[in-house]
Structure 1
Amino acid sequence: MNPDLSGETVLALHAHPDDESIFTGLTLRRLADAGARVVLVMATRGDVGGSHVPLAPGERITERRTRELEAAAALLGVSRLVLLGHRDSGLPGGPDVAHPLALAGADPVALGRSVAELVDAEGAGTVIHDDDAGIYGHPDHRAAHAAGAVACALTGAAGFRMTVDREHLALSARGRHLVHGAAHAAGVGFGRVTAEIGVAVTGSDADLAAKREAMLAHASQIVPDTLPADGFADAYGYEWFLRGERDGGTAAPGVLDALGNAHLLAGAR
Structure 2
Amino acid sequence: MATLVSFHAHPDDECIACGGVIRKAHENGHRVVLVVATRGELGEIPEGFLDDGEELWQRRVLETQASADILGVDRVEFLGYTDSGMMGEPTNDQPGTFWTADVEEAAAKLAAILTDENADVLTVYDDHGGYGHPDHIQVHRVGMRAAEIAGTPRVYQATINRDRALAGRREFDRQNGVETPELAEDFGTPESEITCAVDVTAYAEHKRRAMRAHGSQISEQSFFLAMPDEAFRFAFGTEWFIRAGQGPGITETDVLE
SS of match in other structure, 1:208: helix
Q: Could you give the per-residue CA deviations for residues 98-137 of structure 1, whole angstroms, max 9, x where no partner exists?
A: 1111100001111111111110101101110111111111
Q: 1:204 deviation in Å?
A: 3.8
How many Å apart are 1:155 and its aligned residue? 2.1
Q: Structure 2 residue aligned with 1:87, among 72, 82, 86?
A: 82
TM-score norm. by structure 1 comes to: 0.83
Letter in 2 for 1:195: S
2:71 is aligned with 1:71: no
Unaligned runs of 5+ in 2: 173-180
Which structure 1 residue ranges, 4+ long, deviate > 4 Å from structure 2? 173-176, 252-255
2:197, 2:241 within 8 Å by CA — same for their partners in 1?
Answer: yes
SS in 1 for 2:255: helix
Partner of 1:20: 14
1:47 aligns with 2:41: yes
| TM-superposed deviation, 1:215 | 0.7
Q: Could you tell me how far apart the structure 2 residues matched to 1:223 and 1:66 are?
A: 17
The TM-score, its normalising length taken from structure 2, stands at 0.87
- Residue number in structure 2 paired with 1:189: 186
Match of 1:120 in 2: 115
Contact 1:11/1:38 (<8 A) preserved: yes
Question: Is 1:200 aligned to 2:197, yes or no?
Answer: yes
Match of 1:108 among 103, 108, 127: 103
Q: Aligned residue pairs: how many?
A: 240
Contact 2:122 2:147 in 1 (8 A): yes
Partner of 2:161: 165
Identity %: 36
Give yes or no for contact 1:215–1:222 (8 Å, CA) kept in 2. Answer: yes
The equivalent of 1:222 in structure 2 is 218
Q: Return 5+ residue gaps in structure 1 as ranges.
A: 1-6, 177-183, 259-269
Supply the RMSD in Å over aligned alpha carbons: 2.4
In 2, are the aligned partners of 1:21 and 1:211 still within 8 Å (CA)?
A: yes
Contact between 1:127 and 1:160, CA under 8 Å: does it hold in 2?
yes
